[in-house]
Amino acid sequence: QVTLWLKKMYGNQPIPQYEVNARTVDILYELAECNEARDKDVSLLIEDMKQKAAEYEAETNYLQGILTETLDLSLSSLSGKGVSDLNVLVNSAMALETKDTSLTSFFCAINDMTSELYATESKNREMELELSDIRNKLTAALILEKRLEEDLKKTEELLEVEKAKADSRARNLKFLKDKSEDLKIRIKAAEEQLAATGLDQSLTHEALVSLSE
């Protein structure tokens, strides 16, 4: 079946060489089925279009017969303006997609298009309002973002200043701590020196303050 389909597809031309195995045959078989199904659908569509063309032609002949028999009117007997007006009428009916050229069909089609136009304009106005709202929100967001960036910059600058102050305080605290330790050592050394020289404890500052009190 695959071979017959390939011969049908290529006609008088030679079939290209391909590796024959289960996979390639399965793929070609699926392609053949899809191709035949598509050809069948196209054939049905062609037959349907031929049938519609025949129906349109029959209806045209019928209408032309009515015009000729009842009004003795044909396209060849129309004036140039008449042919032009008829073309305008036909083109208008095709543009409006009416089933015929009666006034009722034209009015219905125009009303439908007018309603559709109003609906579209209403939808456009809604979209414009939404777009305007989005623009306003976007503008507010950009302003807020700029303000936040400025606040962040000021905060960072303030943190740098506070960090510098904290570093200075830390250095001062370390200096005072070291100075305090040094003074304690010197005081202790002085006390030990005084004690070694036989200083009477009743003459120390603390003893004198206690005695004074």
Q: Measuring CA to CA, which residue among 62, 59, 6 is closest to residue 29? A: 6
Residue 177 has pLDDT above 70, yes or no: yes
Mean pLDDT value of segment 145-155: 93
Range in 38-47, 54-63, 170-179 the model is least confident about:
54-63
CA terminus-to-terminus distance, the chain: 130
Pick from 86-95, 102-111, 156-165, 190-199: least confident: 190-199
| DSSP sequence for 150-213 | HHHHHHHHHHHHHHHHHHHHHHHHHHHHHHHHHHHHHHHHHHHHHHHTT--GGGSHHHHHHHH-
Structure tokens at 88: 């305008």
What mean pLDDT comes out for the span 154-159?
A: 93
Residue 62's pLDDT is 81
Enumerate the domain spans of the chain. 1-73, 164-211
Across residues 105-117, what is the average pLDDT? 88
**pLDDT at residue 30 greater than cutoff 80:** yes
* pLDDT at position 146: 94
Rg for the chain, CA atoms, rounded: 53
Which of 121, 88, 84, 117 lies closest to 109, judged by CA? 117
Please name the helix (run of DSSP H) or strand (run of DSSP E) that holds residue 73, with its range, or none: none
Query: So what's the pLDDT on residue 197?
Result: 79
Q: pLDDT value at position 130?
A: 92
Query: Within 10 Å of residue 180's Cβ, how many Cβ atoms?
Result: 10
CA–CA dist 200, 177 (Å, integer): 32
Least Cα distance to 92 among 107, 75, 78, 82 occurs for 107
What is d(CA 169, CA 167) in angstroms, rounded to the nearest whole number? Answer: 5
What confidence tens digit (pLDDT) does each residue in 60-102 have? 788 777 777 766 666 666 677 877 887 888 888 888 888 777 7
